[in-house]
Structure 1
Amino acid sequence: MTDWQRTDITAGAVRIATFSYGDTTDSNRPAVVLVHGWPDTHHLWDRIAPQLAEHYRVFAYDTRGFGESDRPTDVPSYALPGLAEDLFAVIDAVTDGGSAHVVAHDWGSVQTWEAVTTPDAEKRIKSFTSVSGPNLDFLSEWARAQLASPTPGNIGRALSQVASSAYTGFFQIPGVSDAFFRAFGSEKVWTEFLHTIEGTPRENVSFAPTLREDMISGLKLYRANIRGKLARPEPRPTKVPVLEVVNDRDIALRPAIFDLTHTHAEKLWRKSGTSGHWLPYTNPDYLAETAREFIDFVENGTSSAPNTIDRARQLGKPLALTGKLAVITGAGSGIGRETAYALAALGCEVVLADINVASAEETATECKAKGVLTNVYELDVSKVAAVDEFAETVRARHGVPDIVINNAGIALAGSALAATDEQLDRLFDINVRGVISGSRAFARQMVARGTGGHIVNLSSAAAFTPSRDLGLYSASKAAVLMFSESLRAELAEHRIGVSAICPGIVHTNITSTTQFAGAADEDATRAKIDGFYEKRNYTPDRVARQIVDAVVSNKAVVPVTPEAEFGYRVYRFFPWASRIAARQKLNG
């Protein structure tokens, strides 16, 4: 376990065991107080404290009823106002009456919310990083809002949270829940529970010898607060800067319950990822870096590179992808441009890459108008070294992306026999190697970060619709499809989704630049095909909507247009029919 230095303070009649880590003598360094939840102690922070201690004076404490602090036997002693006073008492003690930044998890976050909504809290709490712990007054307000407007969506969100919180009803039953944890509250059982439910590395968990006792006494938190807060909410505002770290796979708390925080927090930021409830155990490096960046931002008014805090600022109700970073190649036109617009409209910061910088800048203008951070880079995806350099630049300047859209591509039609080697190399360098390079470079970053992500690769209906006039193009897109399916399997354990998007006949500028190998009059053939696509009038914005849906829903293969959906099923169930149709010439 981490080498903590213990001192005791008194909060009212309760003795609170308080701990420091590292050198805390330099008063010029900001103070950070770490607050644990149920059933943990200050050892929750064993892997985070050393990282924060490189920059700050770090303190933690065992909240009342846990670890080495006093354990009142009566339930009312665990009411939130008293717990908030404990936090203020700790801050006063470790800062000599000054102020501190607070990072809190689970019930530690719940009680810190009580503190930061206390009048003048901003004089003692400089910032609050909240992890997996809501303000119970805000939660009650949110639940009432869902019931007041019983649409299917609202009812679904409410029922989802009820299901996630069902265990709290069991915790309310004295005797029964106590007996359960006496029987099953061992360190071994709890370690295996976290490993099974969230994939938490066994070596990351740090429990106090009092774990079983902490589990039982900590049940008083539930009994003292939940029913009263849900029945009689009193939401109060806060001026303290707050960063909500929202975990999409939290088994206890659904992300939707945080939707009303912005109505009470004047200065609010939000970061989300595919982590679970016990983020301090499962991915301590990510949480330490996130907290450090936010604390530095509050201290200095600016964020160090990579700047992930600016995009996390929440000015209103969170959008579907608020705070996410998306990278789009081929963003200067067509599907890439429309996808950039769609992601920006949902709150994503966007990084736009294209071989034609001027066209990408045009896309950026509209994205910026939607109020999101936008940056443009020149990129030739056919160059592996250039893709790797681009990925590293994005990581260094903007952070690891949450969404990557490998969209850049070209078309080549006509006879496979007539195509030149130069045409063949260019087609596969862009369509296949470009997709693979982008996927590999950014997937490595996502895996290292450990909070999931999503990669979208643009394939085509041609991948499963053989054609005598599109053999080479079909081969390139079939490679993208199979690579995406295989990569999806490889990255599943890292919570990184991969989607292959397979549009059919979509009118973009790719048709006007398509080369037709072996055509007697290439310009006339191109004009005829482009005219047909224009009359078909399936616009790229409709594909962009499907891409966003694939990201949100983590879909594997998405045939987009009606003909793509038809062709996908024909090829799967009646391949002989596809082979017969493939003999038809593209231009009649």
Structure 2
Amino acid sequence: MTDWHRSDLTVGDIRLATYSYGDAAESDRPAIVLVHGWPDTHHLWDNMAPQLAEHYRVFAYDTRGFGESTRPDDVASYRLDALAQDLFAVIDSVTDGGSAHVVAHDWGSVQTWEAVTTPGASTAIASFTSVSGPNLDFLAEWARAQLSSPTPGNIGRALSQVASSAYTGFFQIPGVSDAFFRALGSDKLWTEFLHAIEGTPRENVSFAPTLREDMISGLKLYRANIRGKLARPNPRPTSVPVLEVVNDRDIALRPAIYGRTYTHADKLWRKSSTTGHWLPYTNPAYLAATAIEFIDAIENGTSSAPNTIDRARQLGAPLPLTGKLAVITGAGSGIGRETAYALAALGCEVVLADIDTASADETATECKAKGVLTNVYELDVSKTSAVTEFAETVRARHGVPDIVVNNAGIGLGGSALDATEEQIDRLIDINLRGVISGSRAFAKQMVARGAGGHIVNLASAAAFTPSRELGLYSASKAGVLMFSESLRAELADHRIGVSAICPGIVNTNITAATEYAGVDDQEAMARKVSGFYEKRNYTPDKVAREIVRAVVSNKAVVPVTPEAKFGYRVYRFIPWVSRIAARAKLTG
């Protein structure tokens, strides 16, 4: 791209081609240095640089062995300690002895890890955003921990990473791997490869004209470092603020390998998404926004970007959903409250919405006690315009959510013939239209972001259990179930999961607020039904656990409670039994 301006830097016998983007002379802005990996050059950042340049002075360079920089012939010249000194020299040059924030990918991240664990690194490196590149010493330590405690889970995680890294063994064979890339290392073939493995767009992907040479000389990175680091790891601490961007669909690096980073990084944040290894190519806007968010937080103490990075703060061992942003409607009580507790306990920042903000505030108190950021909003999900406005508020103040739980709902019992039009409208507006509105508003944001996500919609066992006294309620929940199944199919290509949760008889306060069409003594009926639910005593925290499992495992339909699981199978395989049972009068 023409907006890169080159100026060379000499480090010993190595000439490094360094680049500034646009007008990088504005000294009042923080500096950011971008470090590429194999087999890329500074062109990896072509699609991110314009967005970053709106906030910082942007610099990049071709690391030794790549692009227009010197290509040493000997393998030893590619050791990580030498590469780390190159980075320090670039930072010193572009900042006149100051400090810079570093965003690095793949081997660029590996060598930056070497730099930030070098004593005194914090004087030169203000922060480090690590993308798809581990600290090799930490990786070796993690691998030894798995093998020293050979449980099925540990062995499985270790074998998964070995399988993902199998290509590195091939890269260790000089004659064979060099010849392979000499024959196949063309722009066209590499573009098709990236497109095939993770959907990297064929257009707007920039490679240097030296791609084939870069592929071959860059193999020395693997030969100079992997065997030595794995055989003799030397994990060192760092006080540099670090954000680990973890890609759940990384073909080379499994998320589990980052599990011990917190033991060495004093200031560690983490953000994960259902993205692949070459994130700077596949979703540069998302990665740029993530880096801006983090760097702003470090520069200002608080983030001026919408998606508050403090939610990804890692104070201990990584939790399953650390760094995720979750939105829960109907969070003031029952299943919504317990789901908020469960997600907060797993490291999610939670945004709580309820028509009763006083009850939502009570939920928020417990969530905050778990050490996560928590915010409360008043929301009436029956009003589509309010849901749309709420979604935009969440995006502007907190960012695009990773998890949305459309939980708000009401009950309506009694005869469908006796129900009033007002009761029917309210039921459908809240139970069905509210779910549709919330799903649509947030799904649009997730699709635009391009980093996946998960939507949970609360249906009910009533969706597949017909009853003469729950016909209208069942219809609203059956609509939620079928909408969720259909939306799941629609969003699959965007790696956005959709789960329909179908609880049976759960002891929540929905029974106390349920209206019963055609019943004169509403209070007596409410006491009777509530008493039955209390005796059943299936608590909402158990449903919350199933919701979390659905998110983690991307389950489609989740019947909860024994009667729901039984009813689901009966309706699927012997529906005539359900139809006969539906005639029974339950509340007479």
| TM score, norm. by length of structure 2 | 0.98
Q: Secondary structure of 2:413's partner? A: strand
Trace 1:354-393 onto structure 2 (pairs within 5 A).
354-393=354-393
Other-structure match for 2:53: 53
Q: Is the 8 A contact 2:296 2:305 kept in 1?
A: no
Corresponding residue for residue 188 of structure 2: 188
Note if contact 2:307-2:395 (Cα within 8 Å) is conserved in structure 1.
no
TM-score (norm 1): 0.98
Q: Which residue of 1 aligns with 2:576?
A: 576
Per the TM alignment, residue 435 of structure 1 is displaced from its structure 2 partner at its CA by 0.3
User: Does the 8 Å contact 1:2/1:46 carry over to 2?
Assistant: no
> Could you report, residue by residue, the CA deviation over 1:402-432 in whole angstroms, capped at 9, with x for unpaired residues?
1000000011111111111011000000000
SS at 2:510's partner residue?
A: coil
Partner of 2:482: 482
The code of the aligned residue for 2:310 comes to D
1:502 corresponding residue in structure 2: 502
- Asked if 1 retains the 8 angstrom alpha-carbon contact of 2:117 and 2:236, the reply is yes
Q: Cα offset for 1:520? A: 4.5
Structure 1 residue 305, shift from structure 2 partner: 3.8
Partner of 1:320: 320
Aligned residues: 588
What's the counterpart of residue 20 of structure 2? Answer: 20
- Residue 78 of structure 1 deviates from its aligned partner by 0.8
2:87–2:115 contact (8 Å) kept in structure 1? yes
Q: Aligned residues: percent identity?
A: 84
Q: What is residue 214 of structure 1 aligned with on the other side?
A: 214
- Hey, what's the Cα distance between the residues in 1 that align with 2:206 and 2:331? 46
Once the 2 structures are TM-superposed, how far is the Cα of residue 2 of structure 1 from its aligned partner? 4.7
Shift of residue 182 of structure 1?
A: 1.9
Q: In the aligned structure 1, how far is the partner of 2:474 from the partner of 2:97? A: 70
Q: Tell me by how many angstroms 1:42 deviates.
A: 0.4
Alpha-carbon distance in structure 2 between the residues aligned to 1:309 and 1:95 = 26
Instruction: Give the whole-Å Cα distance in 2 for the aligned partners of 1:352 and 1:71.
Output: 55
Equivalent residues of 2:293, 2:306 under 8 A apart: no
Which amino acid letter does the alignment assign opposite residue 355 of structure 1?
Answer: I
Aligned-residue offset at 1:126: 1.1
Structure 1 position 497, deviation (Å): 0.6
Displacement after TM superposition at 1:523 (Å): 2.8
Output the CA distance in 2 between the equivalents of 1:299 and 1:509: 46
Once the two structures are TM-superposed, the CA of residue 307 in structure 1 deviates from its matched residue by 4.0
Counterpart residue type for residue 293 of structure 1: E
Match in the other structure for 2:291: 291
CA distance in 2, matches of 1:305, 1:82: 35
- Amino acid in structure 1 at the alignment position of 2:279: L
In the alignment, residue 145 of structure 1 is paired with which amino acid?
A
Structure 1 counterpart of 2:516, one-letter code: F
Matches of 2:430 and 2:24 in 1, distance apart?
54
Contact 1:129–1:242 under 8 Å retained in 2: yes
Q: Give, in angstroms, the shift of residue 227 of structure 1.
A: 0.6
* Residues 392-403 of structure 1 mapped to structure 2, 5 A cutoff: 392-403=392-403
Task: Tell me if structure 2 keeps the 8 A contact 1:204–1:282.
Answer: no
Offset, 1:96: 2.0
Q: Is the CA contact (8 Å cut-off) linking 2:35 and 2:104 kept in structure 1? A: yes
What residue identity is the alignment partner of 2:45? Answer: W
Q: Does residue 267 of the first structure (1) align with residue 264 of the second (2)?
A: no
Partner of 2:249: 249
| Contact 1:2 1:43 (8 Å CA) reproduced | no
Amino acid at match of 1:474: S
Aligned position for 2:553: 553
Residue type at the aligned position of 1:345: A
- Measure, in 2, the Cα distance between the counterparts of 1:546 and 1:325: 19
Q: How far 1:396 moved relative to its partner? A: 1.1
Deviations 1:480-537 (A, max 9, x none): 0000011111111111110000001111111111111112433333222221111111
C-alpha contact 1:17 1:61 (8 A) present in aligned 2: yes
Gaps of 5+ in 1: none
Cα distance in 2, alignment partners of residues 579 and 103 from structure 1 = 61
Q: Which runs of 5+ in 2 are unaligned?
A: none
Superposition deviation, residue 27 in structure 1: 1.9
On the 8 A contact 1:22/1:53 being kept in 2, the answer is yes
Aligned CA RMSD, in angstroms, stands at 1.1
Check if 1:301 corresponds to 2:301.
yes
Instruction: Report the alpha carbon displacement of residue 312 of structure 1 after superposing the two structures with TM.
Output: 1.2
CA deviation map 1:323-359 (0-9, x unaligned): 1111100001100000000001001111111111111
Measured after TM superposition, the shift of residue 308 of structure 1 is: 2.1
SS of structure 2 residue aligned to 1:203: coil
> Aligned letter for 2:319?
L
- 1:347 paired with 2:347, answer yes
**Which amino acid counterpart does residue 278 of structure 2 have in structure 1?**
W
Quote the Cα distance in structure 1 between the aligned partners of 2:163 and 2:357: 49
What is the CA-CA distance between 1:587 and the residue it aligns to?
2.3
2:419 aligned partner: 419
Aligned to 2:75: 75
2:398 maps to amino acid: H
**Separation of aligned partners in 2, 1:140 and 1:108:** 18
**Aligned-partner Cα distance in 2 for 1:61–1:541:** 52
- Equivalent residues of 1:2, 1:47 under 8 A apart: no
Which SS does the other structure have where 1:511 is aligned? helix
Task: Find out whether 1:462 has 2:466 as its counterpart.
Answer: no
What stretches of structure 1 move > 4 A for 4+ residues in a row? none
Tell me if structure 1 keeps the 8 A contact 2:9–2:15.
Answer: yes
Is 1:118 the counterpart of 2:124? The answer is: no
The residue matched to 1:73 in structure 2 has which SS? coil
